[in-house]
Amino acid sequence: MKKQLRQQILARRNDLAAAVREAKSEIIVKKVLELPAWQQASIIMSYVSFGSEVATPALIKAALAGGKRVAVPLCVREERRLIASEVLAFPADLQPGTWGILEPKPESLRPLTPALIDLVIVPGVAFDRGGNRLGYGAGYYDRFLADLRPGARTIALAFAEQIVPDVYPETHDRPVDMVITDTEIIEPARFQTKAWIANASS
């Protein structure tokens, strides 16, 4: 069921015209920049967008320009895990890596322990209104998010077309605190008592 849903939503996302994805991405990035959770975070980690994903270069550049420390993921395929690596110059510190996604160059690798990260910007294929996430099937982010400190926040970026009634989460799947789309901000009820979301909603 997950495989079929993944294929369906990926096809839906890929069918969006490039200009439409660009416009939607700009809306989403603007919403992120207005969040108290973003403004208060000192160290963030963001995925580097690839293919038809919500574009993150503008977000990463804004974070660096605003004086935040920024990390991006390095995929270690042999161990099926992610390393957070600090970026000082974007995109100069990066080169095409696993699956063609931009990753830190060997000479630019600056690992950060997950416990230091305040906020993680998470990719995904589909999301439901409970904050549950359907990824690409390898489990890299589920394992990484499990190592964050308790106070760290997780925000997923998605186009409205990626929101579905149910992603059929399993026990090892890690939900996110918030999903931001071009049409709405989804705040799962179990996270709404957190001050950072209460502030964002006021």
Using the predicted structure, report yes or no on whether residue 199 has a pLDDT greater than 70. no
Q: What mean pLDDT is predicted for residues 179-197?
A: 76
Binding residues: 2-6, 48, 53, 133-141
Q: How confident is the model at residue 200 (pLDDT cuts 50, 70, 90)?
A: very low
**Which CATH topology does 2-201 take?**
Rossmann fold (3.40.50)
Q: What mean pLDDT is predicted for residues 70-94?
A: 96
- pLDDT score recorded for residue 82: 96
Q: Which residues pair with 153 in a beta bridge?
A: 119
pTM: 0.92
- CA 144 to centroid of chain Cα atoms: 12
Binding residues for substrate: 48, 53
Q: How confident is the model at residue 192 (pLDDT cuts 50, 70, 90)?
A: low
Residue ranges covered by each domain of the chain: 2-201
Q: In whole numbers, what is the pLDDT of the chain averaged over residues? A: 93
Binding residues for ATP: 2-6, 133-141
Q: Please, which residues have CB within 8 angstroms of residue 180's CB and are 6 or more apart in sequence? A: 28, 31, 32, 155, 156, 157, 158, 186
